[in-house]
Structure 1
């Protein structure tokens, strides 16, 4: 019998997609969130709570449950006045949540969605999990701090832990919630509004379609892992520059963007993940090519 899985933060894009995928696969899953699921979404097993970080929602007898933790800071551009402010407002409530789970007797499998941004800038691509993290922003710093706290708590209390360092997911089915550069490009293609390219447009990012992301998380939750603690990169394992992405979307829509170029004083370096470990450990590989994923997005957008 499959283990019960809880998905925290399921009103957000990643949590919603995981909940939807697990439910479609017939897995025992319950979403936990403060907010309602989006209007127009299919009915899914979901509990709405006043505070997703208070584990009163954990059912009796679920001490061995899997928890896919998506609740928390989602705005990668949010700024804080200091590291102390970040820790007090964001990181501490998250670690308090895990300690509260443990205090209730939980000793299951904790799957944490981290980010490839913890690696910072590097010229050595693709980036393996062994790369020394060098976070450049508060979002990445928070994710890395949570990784370290979870490693400590897992060692102290004996629960299983998987840390997923995620590239750039795209292609959500969540109504009206696609975001990121692809959505901005589609909006500009639809409206004819100018789209500004800062810098050369030649730095690359690793884009992973949501179907492939959810398939990987399902393998993590249901399959045997070689160790109690696992750290995995999740991406496509190949990069695409902004200029190339623009060309692909123009070709897919038959429209031309109104491009504006602006110099950038500090151009962020490329980020492409080495996914060899995920391929091996999960027996998984991305199946949706970027061209196919973009074609789906264009069709969903109505262009």
Structure 2
């Protein structure tokens, strides 16, 4: 069965496309932008608007769509919820309604975020935790999740919601956008690195190799029902301060740290991944130590 990966010019979409292609699956990437410079040749269609489903072939009504296109800046602010809905959320839901109007009834895999859970003292966080998003990015993701659940029930397509921790570790130069890449840039240049908040809240870091392996299982393996919600993380946390110490030790360099308060700082977020283990037969294999070592080596420090 054909799989499409929207937003494949971004880090997560590109890594999913590459992994599925190298594993021999029938997959095509869809994006407005070109693939990263220096990337291997991959099946890819460049379009003016990835959220207009004109790229869907008539015979692919049962195709799987791994949807990565959308808002990528988790710190972006909006003037109001209405502005967020009009500019970001509505185009996402319009896209799925347009797919349905074309006769598509396949499997929709949506990349959401662990940030939808918001603050909690109870760790690790299971999928049954009531979402309490704090920022606009998390609010948007949860709103799209809710709309997708409604549309899947109305129209009968399969739906998988993946709530991601903090994926990291792409080997493509300059493509990493997360905190680890920012730390490496600061270590290399000596530029200040800003710690927003205390630096003592934990995050769940999942290596890209483990992330893409999980997505492959979602795309190809049997799932327990028409709607599946899964946490994807390493199942263990690391504070920013501890991550800074590990990066400094791995590179032999010291960061120029600056501290700023943050009203949007979410408490520690560590995911319960027992359901992903059970449903997918999947297990994270790359330790944080090994993942950091790979990043440092790829960066050349």
TM over 0.5: yes
Which stretch has the larger CA shift, 245-254 or 46-55? 245-254
1:27 maps to which residue?
25
Q: Residues 191 and 279 (structure 1 numbering): CA distance in 2 closer, same or farther, change over 3 Å?
A: same
1:78 maps to 2:72: no
Please tell me whether the aligned partners of residues 5 and 17 of structure 2 are also in contact (alpha carbons under 8 angstroms): yes
Q: Residues 151 and 246 (structure 1 numbering): CA distance in 2 closer, same or farther, change over 3 Å?
A: same
Partner SS, residue 185 of structure 1: helix
Please tell me whether the aligned partners of residues 41 and 175 of structure 1 are also in contact (alpha carbons under 8 angstroms): no
2:241 maps to which residue?
243
Q: Residues 138 and 265 (structure 1 numbering): CA distance in 2 closer, same or farther, change over 3 Å?
A: closer
Measure, in 1, the Cα distance between the counterparts of 2:141 and 2:149: 12
The equivalent position to 2:38 in structure 1, one of 37, 40, 49, is 40
Q: Residues 11 and 299 (structure 1 numbering): CA distance in 2 closer, same or farther, change over 3 Å?
A: same
Q: Residues 73 and 244 (structure 1 numbering): CA distance in 2 closer, same or farther, change over 3 Å?
A: same
TM-score, structure 2 as length reference: 0.97
Deviations along 1:183-217, whole A, 9 cap, x unmatched? 12111211223333344321110000011000000
What is the aligned residue count?
A: 301
1:145 maps to which residue?
143
2:205 maps to which residue?
207
1:118 maps to which residue?
116
Deviations along 1:101-149, whole A, 9 cap, x unmatched? 1111111000000000000011111100000000111111110010010
Q: Residues 264 and 146 (structure 1 numbering): CA distance in 2 closer, same or farther, change over 3 Å?
A: closer
Measure, in 2, the Cα distance between the counterparts of 1:43 and 1:117: 34
Q: Any residues of structure 2 matched to 1:1-303 within 5 Å, and which?
A: 3-262=1-260, 267-303=265-301
Q: Residues 285 and 84 (structure 1 numbering): CA distance in 2 closer, same or farther, change over 3 Å?
A: same
Measure, in 2, the Cα distance between the counterparts of 1:106 and 1:100: 9
Aligned alpha-carbon RMSD (Å): 1.3
Which stretch has the larger CA shift, 173-182 or 239-248? 173-182
Where do 5+ consecutive residues of structure 1 fail to align? Answer: none
Measure, in 1, the Cα distance between the counterparts of 2:135 and 2:270: 18
Measure, in 1, the Cα distance between the counterparts of 2:101 and 2:264: 46
